Amino acid sequence: MPKLVSHPDEVKIVSRRFGQGAADIDTYLKLDGYTALRTAITQGSEWIINEMKASNLRGRGGAGFPTGLKWSFVPKQSAKPKYVIVNGDESEPGTCKDHLIFLHDPHTIIEGTIIAGLAIGAKMGFIYLRGEYRYLQIIMQKAVDDAYERGFLGKNLLGSGQDFDVVVQTGAGAYEVGEESALMESLEGKRGVPRIKPPFPAVVGLYGGPTVINNAETIATVPHVIAMGGAAFAAVGSERNGGTRLFGVSGHVERPGVYELPMGYNLKKLIYEVAGGIRGGRALKAVVPGGSSTPVLLPDEIDIGLDFDQVGKAGSMLGSAGVVVLDETTCMVEFALRTIQFYQHESCGWCIPCREGTDWLKKSLVRFHAGFGEAKDIDNIRYLAENMLGRTFCPLGDAAAMPIIAFVKKFRKEFEDHLNGRPCPFAQPAELAAL
């Protein structure tokens, strides 16, 4: 379970109620809960969307698309019902931020969902939790039940004349349903595989109706944007990247945990000051800046600001803000193998490049890590990964390929050192048996 940690550089906006018992509705109300909802009801949909645009809040699930702009794509008139979906299928290795929101502040998810519904004219919201988060479903469902009892959900909420309902749903442990169209398929009771786009969810989404899908952290941020004002929230972060971000720091650091810091905060400072530096005084070898799907950075590449634009310029992605720190004892071939094992296991198998590509990459890296690779395999691994890019229905294929390309490119010598019958000293008998 992620730790509740603290550092003087933190700017606590989304996490300001953590550890204060805000899962209880009375405590949440004492801590200004549902006041943003009252403001949103009074001001109306256009005002909400304009505030969201002014906030420069970008999607916290990984893509970083501007939230207010995304909401504005939903048509004002629709013959079919509109929906809001909260994507809480937090499944990417290295990512552990949404978990804390569901655990410590579930009502802010509900409040943000209702505000999103008011903005687009929806009367129904779904909060979709990762399959392994079933114990959080109990907390979330209790919060929903309490919100109904107090009049924050249901018919004529807060006497406004507007209705809004929320359903809490868990997946079955599939990483693939974190992709928005696969999530909608799952909610409709189908196999969780991606849809072909266009049409996009804003026009044709859940049950064929216009739909907004946002990550749980994005939705949890919405009430704070409304309470602070969009411009004030934007001022906390960097240019075009408003507000704060929950950064989950794991791996070989002294103080792993989830820290809320302004967008644009320096990655090197996050590792060496906020997270206490490399564990045991060892040297830094590599950093994965945004969850397992993002290309690795070398020690001389980490003096950058943590926002979507600056990390992108450095050749990686901010992604889900899961910062994984690796010290000098890490075998990068093994790390690459562990990464592709996850994506091969989680591929839904819907399209050939992903289904076959991840399988071949895993087999190649198992053999290579065990010391049975050949020199040509290094280029073949990179070639195979490069030919997966942009050729799949959803981004899972890219998520598998991009880190592998970076591992081969930046740690080629380490791959070469595994040749000539020199298996990694950490190789396990089970890996050899899999050949």
- Tell me, yes or no, whether 268 and 380 share the same domain: no
pLDDT at position 169 is 96
The reply to whether 348 falls in a domain is yes
Mean pLDDT (whole number) for 305-329: 96
Q: Last residue of some domain: 307, 327, 347? A: 327
pLDDT at position 247 is 97
pLDDT band at 363 (very low <50, low <70, confident <90, very high): very high
The reply to whether 391 falls in a domain is yes
pLDDT at position 435 is 44
Buried b (16+ CB within 10 A) or exposed e, 311-338: beebebbbbbbbbbbbbeebbbbbbbbe
pLDDT band at 432 (very low <50, low <70, confident <90, very high): very low
pLDDT at position 378 is 94
- Tell me, yes or no, whether 196 and 147 share the same domain: yes
The reply to whether 178 falls in a domain is yes
Question: Which of 94-108, 335-349, 359-373 bottoms out in mean pLDDT, i.e. has the lowest?
Answer: 359-373
Residue 434: is its pLDDT beyond 70?
no
- Tell me, yes or no, whether 267 and 347 share the same domain: no
Q: Is the dihedral of CA 248, 250, 254, 255 positive or negative?
A: positive
Q: What is the CATH number of the domain that holds 218?
A: 3.40.50.11540
Higher pLDDT, 164 or 375: 164
Q: Last residue of some domain: 327, 351, 384? A: 327
pLDDT at position 422 is 67
Q: What is the CATH number of the domain that holds 301?
A: 3.10.20.600
Mean pLDDT (whole number) for 233-248: 97
Spatial contact of 253 and 277, defined as CB atoms under 8 Å apart:
yes
Mean pLDDT (whole number) for 187-215: 95
- Tell me, yes or no, whether 183 and 288 share the same domain: no
C-alpha to C-alpha distances, 391 to 336, 378, 384, 398, nearest whole angstrom: 21, 22, 12, 8
pLDDT at position 431 is 46
- Tell me, yes or no, whether 350 and 426 share the same domain: yes
Task: Quote the crossing angle between the two packed helices 106-120 and 35-43, to the nearest 10°.
Answer: 0
H/E segment holding residue 88: strand 83-88
Could you say which DSSP state residue 181 is in? H
The reply to whether 6 falls in a domain is no
Cis peptide before 199 (omega within 30 of 0): yes
Q: Last residue of some domain: 278, 293, 327? A: 327
Is the pTM value of this prediction over 0.85? yes
Residue range 400-421, pLDDT digits in tens: 999 999 999 999 999 988 887 6
pLDDT at position 100 is 96
Residue range 241-265, pLDDT digits in tens: 999 999 999 999 999 999 999 999 9
Whole-angstrom Cα distance, residue 303 to residue 315?
13
- Tell me, yes or no, whether 195 and 71 share the same domain: yes
Domain of residue 405: give its range.
332-433
- Tell me, yes or no, whether 350 and 378 share the same domain: yes
Mean pLDDT (whole number) for 20-41: 98
Residue range 56-114, pLDDT digits in tens: 999 998 889 999 999 999 999 999 999 999 999 999 999 999 999 999 999 999 999 99
pLDDT band at 373 (very low <50, low <70, confident <90, very high): confident
The reply to whether 157 falls in a domain is yes
- Tell me, yes or no, whether 166 and 132 share the same domain: yes
- Tell me, yes or no, whether 322 and 336 share the same domain: no
The reply to whether 277 falls in a domain is yes
Spatial contact of 258 and 96, defined as CB atoms under 8 Å apart:
yes
pLDDT at position 425 is 61
Tally of domains within the chain? 3
Across the chain, mean pLDDT equals 94
Among residues 97, 101, 424, 135, the alpha carbon closest in space to that of 250 is found at: 97
- List phi, psi (to 5°) of 360: -65, -40
The reply to whether 134 falls in a domain is yes
Type of residue found at 171: G
- Tell me, yes or no, whether 110 and 130 share the same domain: yes
- Tell me, yes or no, whether 354 and 314 share the same domain: no
pLDDT at position 2 is 56
- List phi, psi (to 5°) of 306: -90, 80
Residue range 262-278, pLDDT digits in tens: 999 999 999 999 999 99
Mean pLDDT (whole number) for 108-130: 97
pLDDT at position 426 is 55
- Tell me, yes or no, whether 69 and 185 share the same domain: yes
Among residues 1, 60, 89, 94, the alpha carbon closest in space to that of 342 is found at: 94
Q: What is the CATH number of the domain that holds 348?
A: 1.20.1440.230
- List phi, psi (to 5°) of 23: -65, -25
The reply to whether 135 falls in a domain is yes
